[in-house]
Amino acid sequence: MPLYEYACRGCGHQFEYLVCGHEKPSCPACGGKRLKKKLSVPAAHGTGGCDSCGVSSSSGGGCRSCRT
């Protein structure tokens, strides 16, 4: 089940919603159905790498703080 971020066009409330099948969410603040799905960045869970940023040293150099 994907987790989506929405913004209500009626009241401006922003929220996350776990979508099940073809379910249509409504705004938890005002009950409105006019929602805009927001673009969100997927979470990434890395292992090892730089203490500052989590970039793996095997990924081609890492970040600036890893190289210093």
DSSP string for residues in the chain: --EEEEEETTT--EEEEE--TT-----TTT----EEEEP-PPP----SS-TTT---GGGTS--HHHH-
pLDDT tens digits, residue range 8-40? 999 999 999 998 888 889 999 999 999 999 987
Q: Which residue has the tokens 């090892």?
A: 48
pTM of the model: 0.56
Retrieve residue 57's tokens.
Answer: 């040293």
pLDDT tens digits, residue range 33-64? 999 999 876 666 555 555 555 555 554 555 55
